[in-house]
Amino acid sequence: MADIVSSDKRSQMMSGIKGKNTKLEILVRRGLFSRRMRFRLHVTKLPGKPDLVFAKYRTVVFVNGCFWHGHNCSLFRLPSTNSDFWKQKIQKNRENDAKHKKQLAETGWKTITIWECTVRGKKQEVVTQVLDALAEMISQPSLLKELSKPPYFDSYQKNYVVTEAEILGRILTTFIRKKPTKRSSNNL
């Protein structure tokens, strides 16, 4: 199917899509900064130019949009137009993500990925819980041990290895479920 706008207009539209300093990234940065977590931004000397680098903890955080990195969630939907192009692009992004995480692990860095679906459209209470869990995971290396285990295979897609990001999502979900809310602790 042909594009409905000119190539100049499409180029202008695509150039407006941010690669860094996105709303999600700024939300995560502000949340961690308010929890007294100090970090560096977009360190070019590290593979993949991580969004946040916590040198003190040898931990990096990638803040990924679900569409651009092909996350298996409700926010990811492959476009119906030019689908071959998008499949290749998103697959290449996934491969680059895996390569960068492997390179970081080989040099002793722990990686954490925060997905857009973790906080987008969620109530402030949930976002606060996610940021609390993230800050705790960064500052307490024992909570990251689960991330250093061998990769797992996902039944959703053959040959797709579940990365640290999916494992982190499961850990965060478990952590948030176990953590009592203010409302439930008052009723005790």
Task: Provide the residue ranges of all domains of the chain, joining segments of one domain with +.
Answer: 19-186
For 150-164, the pLDDT digits (tens) are 333 333 343 334 444
- pLDDT at residue 107 tops 80: yes
Query: What is the per-residue pLDDT for 187?
Result: 42
Percent of the chain with pLDDT over 70: 67
Please give the CATH superfamily to which domain 19-186 belongs: VSR Endonuclease (3.40.960.10)
What token pair was written down for 111? 């990686």
Interior/surface letters 59-72, b for 16+ CB within 10 angstroms, e for the rest: bbbbbbbbbebbbe
For 48-65, the pLDDT digits (tens) are 999 999 999 999 999 888
Query: What is the per-residue pLDDT for 158?
Result: 38
- pLDDT at residue 171 tops 80: no
- 100: helix, coil or strand? helix
Which has more pLDDT, 45 or 133? 45
Neighbouring CB atoms inside 10 A of 53's CB total 20
Distance CA(81)–CA(59), nearest Å, equals 38
| Per-residue confidence band for 138, with pLDDT thresholds at 50, 70 and 90 | confident
Identify the DSSP state of 129.
H
Query: What is the per-residue pLDDT for 32?
Result: 92
For 63-91, the pLDDT digits (tens) are 888 888 888 888 788 888 888 988 999 99
